[in-house]
Amino acid sequence: LSRRPLPSPPAAAAARCRHRPPHIPTMAARSRISRSKEFIAFRSEIPRLRCNVQGKEWTYFQHGPKHLPPVICLHGTSGTAETFFCQVMTLGSKGYHVIAAQFPDYWDHQKWVDGFYKFLATINIEKCHLLGVSLGGFMALHFTGRYPERVLSLILCNSFVDTKPFHQSSTWLTMIGYMPEFYVKKFILDSFPKGKLPGPHADAVDFVVEQLETLTRKDLASRLTLNCLPSSVEKHVKMIGGKYPITIMDTMDDVVLPESMSDRLYKAFPNAKMAFIKKGGDFPFLSAHMEISMHVQIHLRNCQMFPGGVDEKTYARQSGIKLEGDNKKQQSPKPKPKKKVLTKEEKEALERKREEGRRKAEERRKLEEEERKRKEEERRRKEAEKQKRRERGNKILEGLISKEDDEEDDEQAKPEGGLFDANGDETGEADPFS
């Protein structure tokens, strides 16, 4: 039996394998992310929803409590709604309302803005937070400038404020809509990073390339047109920067986006919060999805939006976080000590004790004063003797008196034989006539 050849597949199954649509990858060609448990759980738990807006089909995934203002994720030139599955699963499970949207083919920025406005109206979204990546961030800025009342805040990742470095000629912009699908895909794939990449970056690129295969020629050509049409949001920068909380997320390693475009974004919004990711590549929402989700949560908390729509105190209590003012409020005020009423004997004893203390302090002060005076007199006496010796030494050096005369003066200054000498009288004074 082990040597018997395996049976060939039925003809119908073989035909299905031969006629598999080219945009659906086979099991062997699937990327590591698409085979991961997280992505399989995402596709099995969260349905793909579709919304028709004036004949164009918007695709989106929605997760979390629907009564809250959502965080709407907008992809870039080569992305799809599925590329945000990490943010949808992470933030939605924490109690945030998340929508990952995929827009259809729009060939003009103004038409895209009008289509996104009608898409929000169709799914009953009044206000939202916008998370835009690359081209999605640029279109989010356009929408905020046109409909500022529909936006609560902005999160921009590897985005830009104008398309100057991507400008193409009008002939190219006209012809791109008629180019075959393989040429348009090759034009996009040529901009992808090449060479040896770290594991998470390589997995992210493989997954995006796999998602790129699911897009039609019109989708790719329209996105390239939006990316290369001359356009800028300079006239809306002042209004957006002064009205909305903005967080700019960028990666520190090499990316396709020119550094000059990132610098212009920083200068346009100098008051925006900056979140730099050390290693994320061109698709940090896949390769560094945990950091992206963390920064999104911080941004929403700064906007006073907490999971489940609770307020700050409730969220802090549920999470076990102590706020600054909680300790002061919880501490009960110290009771004031009751004043003791003294009896007459206790008052007299207290007064005697105070009087004794005052008397001892006065005696101590007098003793200190006497000691000070004694030390001052001693200092003056020593100073006078020192001055006298100095003057006597100077006279000797000047030759005014001899050393013998000086010794005689010393002997006369110290008389011997008691209080009276031979030349003195009973008063002890020298006789002026002797």
SS3 state of residue 38: helix
Contacts of residue 217, Cβ cutoff 8 Å, sequence gap at least 6? 179, 180, 181, 184
Residue partners of 295: CB distance under 8 A and separation at least 6: 155, 247, 249, 275
Higher pLDDT, 328 or 30: 30
Look at residue 328 in the predicted model and tell me its pLDDT.
53
- Contact status, residue 276 vs residue 295, Cβ threshold 8 Å: no
- Band of pLDDT at residue 23, cut at 50, 70 and 90: very low
The answer on pLDDT for 430 being more than 70 is: no
- Cβ atoms of 281 and 204 closer than 8 Å: yes
Residues 326, 329, 332, 335: is their CA dihedral positive or negative?
A: positive
1 has pLDDT over 70: no
Please give the pLDDT value at position 275.
92
Per-residue pLDDT at 344: 84
* Complete DSSP assignment for 383-430: HHHHHHHHHHHHHHHHTSS-HHHHHHHHHHHS--SSS--TTB-TTSPB
Residue 396: the pLDDT is 84
Q: What is the Cα–Cα distance from 328 to 324, expressed in whole angstroms? A: 8
Residue 320 identity (one-letter amino acid): G
Question: Residues 197, 200, 206, 209: is their CA dihedral positive or negative?
Answer: negative
| Among 91-105, 253-267, 306-320, 349-363, the least confident range | 306-320
Given this model, what pLDDT does residue 139 score?
Answer: 95
Report whether pLDDT(47) > 60.
Answer: yes
Lowest-pLDDT range of 117-131, 188-202, 217-231, 392-406 = 392-406
Over range 32-42, report the average pLDDT.
92
Type of residue found at 81: A
Which range is least confidently modeled, 81-90, 230-239, 305-314, 422-431?
422-431
Q: What is the pLDDT of residue 26?
A: 44
Where are the alpha helices (H) located in 123-233, listed in sequence order? 135-146, 170-175, 181-189, 199-212, 217-228
- Mean of pLDDT values over 4-15: 40
Tell which wins on pLDDT, 133 or 327.
133
Amino acid identity for residue 284 in this structure? P
Q: Which residue has the tokens 């006298």?
A: 388
pLDDT per residue over 189-232, tens digit each?
Answer: 888 877 788 888 889 999 999 999 999 999 999 999 999 899 99
pLDDT of residue 172: 84
pLDDT in tens, 141-154: 999 999 999 999 99
CA distance 224 to 107: 9
Q: Which helix (H) or strand (E) holds 14?
A: helix 11-18
pLDDT of residue 405: 57
- The residue with greater pLDDT, 429 or 188, is 188
CA 373 to CA 85: how far, in whole Å? 92
Q: Residue 327: its pLDDT value, please?
A: 55
Q: What percent of the chain has pLDDT over 70?
A: 81
- Mean pLDDT lowest among 39-53, 142-156, 158-172: 158-172
pLDDT band, very low/low/confident/very high, at 9 (cuts 50, 70, 90): very low
Distances (CA, A) of 41 to 20, 283, 322: 24, 21, 35
Q: What is the pLDDT of residues 274-317, one digit of tens each?
A: 999 988 888 999 999 999 999 999 999 999 888 887 777 887 77
Tell me the C-alpha distance between 257 and 192, whole Å.
Answer: 11
Question: For residue 147, what are its two tokens?
Answer: 């409909």
The pLDDT, as a whole number, for residue 331 is: 56
Task: Look at residue 68 in the predicted model and tell me its pLDDT.
Answer: 92
The two three-digit tokens of residue 55, written as one number: 């004949």
The tokens for 401 are: 């008196």
Return the higher-pLDDT residue of 61 and 191: 61
Q: Contact 89/62 with Cβ under 8 angstroms?
A: no
Reduced to 3 states, what is the DSSP secondary structure of residue 361?
helix
Say if residues 229 and 108 touch (Cβ distance below 8 Å): yes
The one-letter code for the residue type at 351 is E
Q: For 356, which DSSP code?
A: H
Q: Residue 4 has what pLDDT?
A: 43
Return the percentage of the chain with pLDDT > 90, whole number. 49
Q: Are strands 128-133 and 71-74 parallel, antiparallel or unpaired?
A: parallel
- With residue 246 as reference, give the H or E element that holds it: strand 246-251
Across the chain, what does the average pLDDT equal?
A: 82
According to DSSP, the β-strands at 98-102 and 56-63 are antiparallel
Predicted confidence band of residue 255 (pLDDT cuts 50, 70, 90): confident
Structure letter (DSSP) for residue 154: E
Task: Dump pLDDT digits (tens) for 367-379.
Answer: 999 999 999 999 9
